[in-house]
Amino acid sequence: MDEITPGAGLGNGVATGRQAATDPFAAFGLPVLGLRDYWYPVLAAWKLRGKPKKVMALGEELVLFRDGQNVYALDNRCPHRGARLSLGKCQFKATVSCPYHGWTFNGAGECVAAIMEGPESKIPGRAKVKSYAATQRNGLIWIYLGDGTPPAFEDDVPNLIADRSTFFTISAWTDYACNWRVLADNWTNEHHGPYVHGNAPELFFQPVPPFNLTLSVVDHGNGRSMGVRGEGGINSAEFPGLGSFPPSKWHRFMKPHGRGVRGNWHETPAYKEHGVQTPTQSRLPGMVIVARPHAEYFLIQWLLPIDANNTRLFNINCFKRMGLWREIKDRVHYALYRGWAHDWIFSGQDKKVVESVIIGPEMLSRTDVGLIGWRRFVGRHAHKDAP
């Protein structure tokens, strides 16, 4: 693992000229519409039934349709007259037919019928639309948004999702009116937590989170993920002439005792059993894995860039399979508390802030060590569109 020392290089890699003035991500090669050549969750599986469904992903408009458990994704434009295939029908098995003249395409994007021209039409075999690899896993529809042969789903996503024999998942999703890069930055910004989430119900039974931390970035050495390590910090402070922060801690039931797991993280089941190298790790193409030392629960937050100004956030709650009664308990706990406390309230506090961010010139400080580390990591390791 390679460490980037606190504050190292904050003055380096800064874009110049007009581009940097309007987009500070440009110097690091973070594209506006997201990173290509990765699998992404795009839709809850139950939303795709017998009719075609339109989805937006990485600035592209796609149509989804299914045949039982088989899911297909095509470009949402008929090459005949440009009508949206998502307004058509699944007229025949494992196909989608255009609503205008009935040009019909299979899951590979090949035209197999032109209904209004009859069975003898010369169009089949000549017309084609772009297709994407798609699958249904963990109650979600996933698409490989890239070109060429996609990697196996199990090889390209965290094993917490791919290994259905060890974990079951409960997912929720929220659309954010912001660019994906702003939301991904938020995960690496350790210092926003005590300020934004100080009154979050999820933290009532946890120690008072510290601020004024000394931060360092840990590259996990796998080309996929990195983490931010925070050391030291304080739980309260007096600001001369202003008062104290936080002003009141009456709602906290536990006394402060520092930060993070006690002892060596590499001795925890989360690391030994699942290779999660830091309690929080940011991973390509735009996700964060939040781990518990006991490895019985993980939260994966995965971003889908919809377009330049909108992002869909999937909260994928991963619970270890520990028998029927434990699964019932975990599902009830999520339904009655965790789904509300985190996926709704906690994430909603972030949502309010990140949607207000105006992308432009930045005056960064030592609280942004993780943010800079993430941007550099993306530019260094992402597949396409991030030199």
**The domain at 159-381 falls in which architecture?**
Alpha-Beta Complex (3.90)
Per-residue pLDDT tens over the stretch 16-40: 444 445 789 988 889 999 999 999 9
- Taking a C-beta distance cutoff of 8 angstroms, is the pair 40, 304 a contact? yes
Backbone angles phi, psi at 291, to 5 degrees: -105, 155
> Residue 249: what pLDDT?
61
Looking at the chain, the domain(s) classified CATH 2.102.10.10 span: 38-146
324 falls in which pLDDT band (50, 70, 90)? very high
Phi and psi at 317, nearest 5°, equal -85, 120
What pLDDT sits at residue 385? 53
Q: What are the tens digits of pLDDT across the range 86-107?
A: 999 999 999 999 999 999 999 9
Q: What are the tens digits of pLDDT across the range 48-78? A: 999 999 999 999 999 999 999 999 999 999 9
Residue range 292-319, pLDDT digits in tens: 888 899 999 999 999 999 999 999 999 9
Query: What is the radius of gyration, based on Cα positions, of the chain?
Result: 23
Mention every residue, 6+ apart, whose C-beta is less than 8 A from residue 196. Answer: 349, 350, 353
Alpha-carbon span 315 to 343, nearest angstrom: 7
| DSSP reduced 3-state for 106 | strand
Mean pLDDT of the chain: 85
CATH 3.90.380.10 domain span(s) along the chain: 159-381
* CA 317, chain centre distance (Å): 12
Question: Strands, DSSP E only, in the chain?
Answer: 2-4, 38-44, 53-57, 60-67, 70-75, 95-97, 103-106, 111-114, 131-132, 134-137, 140-145, 167-176, 214-219, 225-231, 237-239, 243-245, 280-283, 287-291, 297-307, 310-320
Where does 38-146 sit in CATH, by number?
Answer: 2.102.10.10
Q: What is the DSSP letter of 212?
A: S
User: Which stretches of the chain are DSSP H helices?
Assistant: 17-22, 153-156, 159-162, 180-188, 192-196, 269-274, 324-333, 347-354, 369-381
Query: Averaged over 363-379, what is the pLDDT?
Result: 90
Burial class of residue 180, CB neighbours in 10 A (0-12, 13-18, 19+): buried
- Residue 259: what pLDDT? 41
224 touches 277 (CB < 8 A)? no
User: What is the chain's percent helix, strand, coil content, to nearest 5?
Assistant: 25, 30, 45
Residue 148 has pLDDT above 80, yes or no: yes
Low-confidence winner among 123-127, 186-190, 198-202, 318-322 (lowest mean pLDDT): 198-202
- Helix 180-188 to helix 369-381 angle (10° resolution) is 120
Residues 116-133 have a mean pLDDT of 93
- In which band, very low, low, confident or very high, does the pLDDT at 207 lie, cut at 50, 70 and 90? low
Beta bridge partners of 163: none
